[in-house]
């Protein structure tokens, strides 16, 4: 089989289309032939910087969908030929994967292959952010960074479905329509900080109830200043960098949280339940996906370059 592997950390140029031995499923594992892999900013950070669990050499990627081709000892919940998807499995940029059965969910007939691959990481992240990180309710005002991106667009829809209002931030004018189509009530174009006064104007001086901030250090302070007293700053994404902060620097008695991927669906039960909820929303038409880029798996470096350029909206997929 082939996979996208790095021998060192760096730019997209370190990604190599590499031939590797076919994996074999061990006890409790399922052998899956890749149908599509999702591209995430997490993948970019793993490639560029490494971090826990991402020491080079490594095969990149964490999410996707595929077809069961063999079962390891003790697997009872799946059968050869099943369509399955996964939320987090390092090494997903590969033609074949041996994945623990407890990390997989079945894909219902009403969900096509691309949708299943595209929704796992970003959909479950958006679901977690809008429920457990801050349970959005009717009348709440949320600021959503990168509102035209994969997570931002889904998060906007989920907030609206829960009765909240969305003030979306995008990096350029051309992305504003994407955020508006997802349901954002107002869209602001900002490439860094300095947006807090506009947020306060739009909220009658009160400030937002929650800011979902995947923008990194450049937006950190403005996100906090845009919040009402006791508002929640949800600063998410493991490779954004975490600014130095003293508790006494937090304005307006705000609450700061750093939701991480392993807490989104911490148990098998949570994975099945939360994925089922997201799949139901998709099949009912209450949640829509926007897949804007499809690349051959061998051309994953180009997908990374496009994502980092911030020229893209929606979701990017790799196809074997």
Tokens representing 70 are 């063999």
What gap in Å lies between CA 134 and CA 209, rounded to an integer?
Answer: 9
Model pLDDT, residue 52: 82
Q: pLDDT, tens digit, for every residue of 126-142?
A: 999 999 999 999 999 99
With pLDDT > 90 as the criterion, what percentage of the chain qualifies? 85
- Report DSSP state, residue 134: S
Spatial contact of 18 and 2, defined as CB atoms under 8 Å apart: yes
CA-to-CA distance for 316 and 186, rounded, in angstroms? 25
Q: Which helix or strand (DSSP H or E) is residue 236 part of?
A: none
Question: May I ask the CATH architecture of the domain 2-120+264-319?
Answer: Alpha-Beta Complex (3.90)
Domain extents in the chain: 2-120+264-319, 138-258
Looking at per-residue confidence, does 106 or 264 come out higher?
Answer: 106
Write out pLDDT tens, residues 220-268. 999 999 999 999 999 987 566 677 888 999 999 999 998 888 888 989 9
**Nearest CA among 141, 145, 142 for reference residue 153:** 145
Q: Give the C-alpha separation, 95 to 151, whole Å.
A: 25
Contact 75, 104 (CB under 8 A): no
Name the nearest CA neighbour of 260 among 170, 83, 125.
125
- Residue 188 parent element (H or E): strand 186-189
Single pTM value for the model: 0.91
Residue 133: name the closest of 236, 64, 225 by CA: 236
138-258 has which fold?
Rossmann fold (3.40.50)
Q: Determine the 3-state secondary structure of 256 from DSSP.
A: strand
What is the four-CA torsion angle of 28, 34, 35, 40, rounded to 10 degrees?
100
Distance CA 105, CA 84 (A): 6
- Is 80 exposed, middle or buried (CB count within 10 Å of its CB: 0-12, 13-18, 19+)? exposed
The residue whose two tokens read 């926007």 is 290
Instruction: Encode 45-73 in three state secondary structure.
Output: HHHHCCCCCCCCCEECCCCEEEEEEEECC
Q: Of 25-39, 108-122, 224-238, give the lowest mean pLDDT range.
A: 224-238
């Amino acid at each position: 089989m082939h996979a996208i592997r790095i021998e060192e950390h760096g730019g997209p140029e370190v990604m190599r289309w590499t031939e590797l031995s076919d994996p074999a499923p061990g006890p409790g594992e399922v052998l899956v032939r890749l149908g599509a892999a999702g591209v995430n900013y997490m993948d970019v950070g793993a490639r560029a910087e490494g971090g826990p669990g991402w020491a080079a050499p490594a095969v990149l990627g964490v999410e996707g969908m595929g077809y069961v081709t063999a079962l390891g000892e003790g697997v009872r919940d799946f059968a050869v030929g099943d369509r399955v998807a996964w939320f987090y499995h390092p090494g997903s940029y590969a033609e074949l994967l041996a994945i623990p059965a407890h990390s997989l969910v079945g894909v219902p007939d009403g969900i096509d292959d691309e949708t299943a691959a595209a929704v796992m990481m970003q959909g479950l992240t958006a679901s977690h952010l809008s429920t457990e990180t801050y349970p959005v309710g009717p009348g709440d005002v949320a600021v959503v960074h990168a509102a035209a991106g994969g997570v931002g667009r889904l998060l906007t829809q989920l907030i609206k479905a829960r009765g909240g209002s969305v003030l979306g931030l995008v990096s350029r004018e051309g992305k504003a329509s994407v955020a508006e189509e997802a349901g954002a009530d107002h869209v602001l174009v900002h490439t860094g900080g300095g947006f807090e006064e506009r947020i306060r104007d739009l909220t009658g001086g009160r400030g937002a109830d929650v800011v979902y901030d995947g923008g990194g250090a450049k937006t950190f302070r403005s996100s906090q200043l845009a919040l009402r007293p006791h508002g929640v700053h949800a600063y998410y994404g493991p490779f954004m960098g975490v600014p130095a902060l003293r508790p006494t620097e937090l304005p307006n008695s705000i609450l700061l949280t750093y939701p991480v991927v392993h807490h989104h669906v911490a148990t098998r039960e949570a994975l099945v339940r939360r994925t089922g909820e997201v799949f139901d929303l998709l099949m009912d038409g209450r949640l829509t996906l926007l897949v804007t880029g499809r690349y051959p798996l061998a051309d994953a470096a180009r997908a990374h370059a496009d994502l980092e350029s911030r020229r893209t909206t929606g979701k990017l997929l790799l196809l074997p």
